[in-house]
A and B are shown apart, each in its own frame.
Chain A
Amino acid sequence: MAAWDLSVTVEDLGPDTPPVTLSVTSDLHVGGVILKLVEKTQIKRDWSDHALWWEQKQRWLLRTAWTLEKYGIHADARLVFMPQHKPLKLGLPNGITLRLRACFSNPVFQTVIGICRMLNIRHPEELSLLRPLEEKKKKKDKDSTVEIYDLTEVPLSSVSRPCLYNGMPAHFADSPQMEAIYKMLSVTQPPPAPEVIAKQYRPASVVDKAHINGRWLDSSRCLMQQGIQENDKLWLRFKYFAFYDIEPKYDVVRLTQLYEQARWAILLEDIDCTEEEMMLFGALQYHISKVSQSEPQLLSSSAAMDDLESALQSLEVKMEGESSSASEMLENMTAPELNDYLKIFRPKRLTLKGYKQYWFKFQDTSISYFKSKEESIGEPIQQINLKGCEVAPDVNMAAQKFLIRLLIPAPEGMNEVYLRCENEQQYAQWMAACRLASKGKSLADSSYQSEIQSIHSFLAMQKTNSGSHGNAAASDESINTHSLVSPRYHKKYKAKQLTPRILDAYQNVAQFSLTEAVMRFLQIWQALPDFGLSYVVVRFKGSRKDEVLGIAPNRLIRIDLGVGDVVKTWRYNNMKQWNVNWDIKQMAIEFEGNVNIAFSCVTADCKIVHEFIGGYIFMSTRSREKSDTLNEELFHKLTGGHEAL
Chain B
Amino acid sequence: MDDIDAMFSDLLGEMDLLTQSLGQETVPPEPLLLPATNEEINFSIGFTDLNESLHELEDNDLDALMADLVADLSATEEKLAAEIEGLKVPSPPQSDLPPPPKGLSTHSASPHASPASSTRSSVSTPASSAASPLPPPPPQSSKPTKEEIEAQMKADKIKLALEKLKEAKVKKLVVKVLMNDGSSKTLMVDERQNVREVLDNLFEKTHCDCNVDWSLCETNPELQLERAFEDHENLVEPLSAWTRDSENKVLFQERKEKYEVFKNPQNFYLWKKDKKALKDIKDKDKDILIQENFCGTSIIVPDLEAVLHLKEDGKKSWKQRLFQLRASGIYYVPKGKTKSSRDLVCFLQFDNVNVYYGKDFKSKYKAPTDFCFVLKHPQIQKESQYIKYLCCDDAWTMNLWVTGIRIAKYGASLYENYKTAEKKAAVSSVWTNRSTPSSSNPSTPSPTIKGSTTRKLSLLSLKHQCVDPPCLVNSPPPVHVTMFYILSSQDFGNIPPPPPPPPLPSTEILPPPPPDPVLPPPPPLAAKSYAKPVPPQRHLPTNFPPPAMDNLPPPPPPPPMDDSSEAPPDFLPPPPPAAGFGSLPPPPPLLMNSLPPPPPSFGGMDQSLPPPPPDPEFLPPPPTQQVYIGAGAPPPPPPPPPPAAAAAAPRAPVRPSGSVKKLPPAPPKRTTPSLLGEGGGGGGGDFMSELMLAMQKKRSDH
Contacts and interface: CB of A to CB of B under 8 A. Distances in A.
Interface of A: 243, 246, 269, 272-277, 280, 305-306, 308, 311-312, 314-315, 318-319, 322-323, 326-327, 329-331, 333, 388, 390, 409-414, 445-446, 488, 508, 519, 522-530, 540-542, 554, 564-565, 568-569, 572-584, 586, 588, 593-598, 610, 614, 617, 620-624, 638, 641-642, 645
B278 interface: no
Contact of A596 (B338, B472, B478, B562): B472
24 contacts: A243-B297, A269-B342, A272-B340, A276-B328, A306-B604, A319-B554, A322-B562, A327-B32, A327-B553, A523-B299, A524-B327, A524-B328, A529-B326, A541-B475, A564-B338, A579-B473, A580-B484, A581-B478, A581-B481, A582-B481, A595-B470, A597-B468, A620-B492, A622-B494
A621 B468 CA distance: 27
Question: Most A CB atoms within 10 A — which of B243, B327, B463?
Answer: B327
A413 B385 contact: yes
B494 A621 contact: yes
Contacts of A410: 379-380
A290 B251 CA distance: 48
B551 interface: yes
Contacts of B243: 411
Contacts of A530: 341
Contacts, number: 238
B476 interface: yes
Contacts of A586: 475
Interface stretch (B114-122, B346-354, B621-629): B346-354
B610 to A, nearest CB: 12
A642 B482 contact: yes
Contacts of A412: 380-382, 384
A330 B340 contact: no
Nearest to A624: B496
Contact of B341 (A273, A280, A330, A576): A273
Contacts of A308: 601-603
A614 B551 CA distance: 55
B135 interface: no
A598 B475 CA distance: 10
Contacts of B566: 445
B162 A326 contact: yes
- The 5 A-B pairs with the shortest beta carbon distances in the complex, nearest first, are A413-B384, A323-B553, A411-B381, A409-B379, A272-B341
Interface in B557-615: 557-559, 562-563, 566, 596, 599, 601-605
B284 to A, nearest CB: 8
B31 interface: yes
Contact of A318 (B328, B467, B555): B555
Contacts of B340: 272, 564
Residue of A414, A524, A582 with highest tally of chain B CB at under 10 A: A414
B483 interface: yes
B342 A272 contact: yes
Contacts of A519: 297
A623 B326 contact: no
B109 interface: no
A243 B295 CA distance: 12
Contact of A577 (B329, B484, B599): B484
B35 interface: yes
B180 interface: no
A388 B379 contact: yes
A623 to B, nearest CB: 5
Contacts of A638: 484
B515 interface: no
A322 B386 CA distance: 44
Contacts of B482: 579-580, 582, 641-642, 645
B311 to A, nearest CB: 15
B553 to A, nearest CB: 4
B473 A596 contact: yes
Given A308-B603, A528-B326, A529-B326, 14 more contacts: A308-B601, A314-B559, A315-B557, A330-B158, A331-B31, A333-B34, A388-B378, A413-B383, A508-B351, A526-B300, A569-B465, A573-B492, A598-B473, A645-B482
- Interface core residue of B303, B328, B494 (most chain A CB under 10 Å): B328
A573 B285 contact: yes
Contact of A527 (B300, B346, B480): B300
Contacts of B494: 620-623
Interface of B: 31-32, 34-35, 38, 155, 158-159, 161-162, 165, 241, 243, 272-273, 277, 284-285, 288, 292, 296-301, 303, 326-329, 331, 338-342, 344, 346, 349, 351-352, 377-387, 463, 465, 467-468, 470-473, 475-476, 478-486, 491-492, 494-496, 551-555, 557-559, 562-563, 566, 596, 599, 601-605
A71 B342 CA distance: 58
A325 to B, nearest CB: 9
A241 B381 CA distance: 45
Nearest to B554: A319
Nearest to B155: A323
B496 to A, nearest CB: 5
B288 A573 contact: yes
A322 B553 contact: yes
Contacts of A569: 272-273, 465
B596 A319 contact: yes
Contacts of A598: 471, 473, 475
B555 A319 contact: yes
Nearest to A277: B328
A579 B474 CA distance: 13
Nearest to B351: A508
B603 A411 contact: no
Contacts of A272: 340-342
Contact of B470 (A319, A596, A614): A596
Contact of B161 (A315, A330, A390, A488): A330
A577 B471 contact: no
A562 B422 CA distance: 47
A581 B475 contact: yes
Contact of A274 (B292, B299, B328): B328
Contacts of A568: 465, 468
B491 A617 contact: yes
Nearest to B284: A573
Contacts of B496: 623-624
Given A623-B495, A624-B496, A413 B386 contact: yes
B342 A488 contact: yes
A581 B558 CA distance: 59
B342 A275 contact: yes
Given A274-B342, A638-B484, A526 B384 contact: no
Contact of B297 (A523, A576, A624, A642): A523
B484 A578 contact: yes
A527 B327 contact: yes
Nearest to B377: A409
Contacts of A596: 468, 470-473
A276 B349 contact: yes
B476 A584 contact: yes
Contacts of A597: 468, 471
Nearest to A317: B559
Contacts of B557: 311, 315
Contacts of B473: 541, 579, 588, 596, 598
Contacts of A620: 491-492, 494-495
Contacts of A311: 557-558, 602, 605
Nearest to A333: B35
A134 B97 CA distance: 70
Contacts of A523: 297-299
A601 to B, nearest CB: 15
B593 to A, nearest CB: 14
A509 B38 CA distance: 36
B32 A274 contact: no
A322 B186 CA distance: 40
Contacts of A522: 297-298
Contacts of A581: 475, 478-481
Contacts of B468: 568, 595-597
